[in-house]
Structures are given as structure tokens and as C-alpha cells.
Structure 1
Amino acid sequence: MSIPRQCALLGLNRSSLFYTPHEPMSKAPAFDEAIMARIDSWHTRCPYLGSRKLVTRLQEDGVQVCRKTVRRLMQKMGIYAVYPKPNLSKRNFKEAIVPYLLRNYTAAFPNQVWSIDITYIPMPHGHMYLTAIIDWHSRRIVGHHLSDSLEVSNVVQAVRETVEKYGIPAIINSDQGSQFTSKEYKELLRSYGIRQSMDGRSRWADNIMIERWFRSLKTEQLYPNEYHTPRELRQLINQYVDDYNGIRPHEALGYEVPDKLYFNHFAA
């Protein structure tokens, strides 16, 4: 029944009826976190799913959610469907985009090319973000940094710590995310003399090496195990990085482990 009709039946003047504000739902943040956890699970399993198909999957899981909400949360998480499409990246500042330098490129030795990216990790109460850096030649994870935000400072810190520990690479590749087009990040690479490379427009596979590692981390370590605090999450990640680098054979390396290929080159 319309508001004017209700007023007429009650004998009230329509202009005297005002909206009574309500407090936001106290469960809204927790509800968003639960949805983001499900989105992350589906995105890790099927990274090609866009917001429309994710809505369908979530509704099949019993989560009643609209596409607008899914798109908002995907943006908050910093993820998108990884398949070629005309409008893959919005270029707010064209001067900040740099060319992709690695087409048909093969890294012949360690520290020649690194890839860097950020992934969302759900927590029981909230979420975290992991920045990771992988060496192209050895597939070794040379650096990673866990934080509770997508601030540029976290990416800058990850690069600084990795360079201090393992030296300066020739090239670092990333996607066209705002952290990697920022003035702080670009100036940091310039100060080290590192050449910056970015995924080409509509070329999601250009940074696939680090994307695959994120998927392995989540499916092999994070989803099967429980963690309740950032400290416990950090321990799980550190353990997985150590195992991945030191004892897990890699098919692309002729079933050698990344540590052996990385450090043997410098020993030779």
C-alpha cells in the first residue's frame, strides 16, 4: 500500500509524515566479510568468473546477493575476472602506464626478471592482503609482505626488503593496479635503476606466474588449515614459502626445487 493511501486511511496529512532514520545493520560488515570469503574461494578455483557468474555461484551456495554488491566487494578486494576483454583496466593516468617488456622473453638467470602482485586473504574476522615477488628464472618466491590494507607503502616495503636481501633485479613486472602506477612505487624502482614493466592491455596472462603461485598457496595451505590471527596466518605463509622454495619439485624446472636453481647459479 502506498504512503499517500496509508495517510488517507489514517486521516493524516501526507506532508506531516517524515522518514525515520535507522541505524546501519550491525551485521553488515560481518556479512560483507563472509561474502568476500566465498568470492575469494570461487575466484581462486575459477578465476575466469565475472560478477554475473559469481552471483549465480553464490546464490547456489545459499547466499542471496545482487550483482551490485558482488562488484563492490570485488573492487574492495582488488580482484577481477582474468580473461581477455576490451575494458580490462581503467587507465586513470595514461602517463603512469609503462610498456610490457617481456613479450617472448626468457629469463636466463636469477634476478633478471621479477613479478610482483597482491592477493586478498580472508580472515575469521576481517581480511588481509599479501604482496609477493617471484623470480622468473628459478620460480623462487624472493619476497612477501602481509598487511591489512592495499596502501602503496606495503608494496614499497615489500620491494625494499627483497632488494636488501637478494639484490637488484633488472626488470620488475606487475599489472596496472593503482599501487604499481603510483608515484612512490615508480620512484622507488627508478632509484634502484630497475626497469618497470606492466601487463599489456587485455593481456591478463602476462603476470600469470605469480597468479598461479597465489592459487597454489590458497588451495594447498590456507584453505585446508585454520588460522585465527594475523600471526598464525603469517606462520602458515612463511612455512609454505619455505616448503615451496626448498623441498617442492617444480615441473617447469625439470623437477628441481627453486632454491637449488636460484642459489646454484650464484655459486657457479
Structure 2
Amino acid sequence: MIERSHPSLSVGALCRLLSISRSSFYYAPQGDTEMNLALMQLIDRQFMETPFYGVKQMTWHLRNEGHAVNVKRIRRLMRLMRLMPIYQKPNTSKLAKGHKTYPYLLGGLRVDRPNQVWCADITYLPMRRGFLYLVAIMDWFTRKVLAWRISNTLEADFCVEALNEAVHRFGPPEIMNTDSHTIGASSRVV
């Protein structure tokens, strides 16, 4: 959009008109340095052997190999390479102490109308530091998500809020089914 050889306006004036700095117009992006490219090769090689290494472990490994690197640099390079470590997932299927086990009511049941059977499930969303937990309430017949909530803990409050919202908006179902021990298995809604 900026013509260097404009007959009446200078490059500086054109940059002001477009609300960009003159240095942005002249900036030519630089590629990564040879050192960073070499580090990226080392990171890639090590990541193939230990895909569970995160930024801190990779930094520690490279320092032990004699490279003067810091966490910020390795984080930037791993992001640039789009490397995400594989790590242990949270165990959300532990049976709660003293929790009542409900009978499974859906064996052979024909689901043929809305609000007959709802289901709820919790999944986790990995974040840079820990997890977020997502609960969704869904109608089995329509496959519609009726309500959902996200929480940074596995306390039951966010699940109850989602269920209360779904009941408030659509009325109670005949059967509420979950496979999660934290909410409760199949149970008839009274």
C-alpha cells in the first residue's frame, strides 16, 4: 500500500496515514539463528526418545549436554516446533468413598423421545499448567447438548450447576445416565 516513489508523499507521511510506524515498513523478518536451528534439531531428536519431556525437562537435558540455554528460549523453540509433551492424564474414574452405586437402567431400553434419557460426562482439557474439566449434559434422543460448564477442580458444584440449568430450561428427564462415578450411574429422576 505504500509506494516508495509517490510523487507528493514521503514514506513517513504514508506510514502516518496508515497508522503504522516507519520502522515496521522497513522491517525485514530474520530467520532463526544457526544456534537456534541446531538446538531445534537436538530438541527434536530428544523429543523422539522422550516425548514426555516438557520445557523444564528439555532445558535440564540440554544443560546437561553442555548447552547454555534457559527455560524461556526452550519454551519458545518448542512452541515454534509445536511440540506438546505426552503426560499422564488425570484419573477421573475413581469411585468416591462411600458412594452409592446405582443400577444400570438402560439395558434394552428403546430411547424414542426427547427428555426420556439424558446423559452427563466429564472430560478434561489439558492446559499449560494442569487441567480444566468440562461437563456436558446431553439428550440421548436429539443428541443436543443441553448445558455445559467448565471448572478448574473436580468439585461437584459445576456439574450440579449444569444439570440445574438443563432441568430449568428443558424440564426434568425420565432417566439421567452417567458413566462417571463422581456424578452417579443411571438413576431415575424423581
**TM-score, with normalisation over the residues of structure 1?**
0.36
Larger radius of gyration: 2
Which structure features the higher share of helix residues?
Answer: 1
For normalisation by structure 2, the TM-score amounts to 0.50
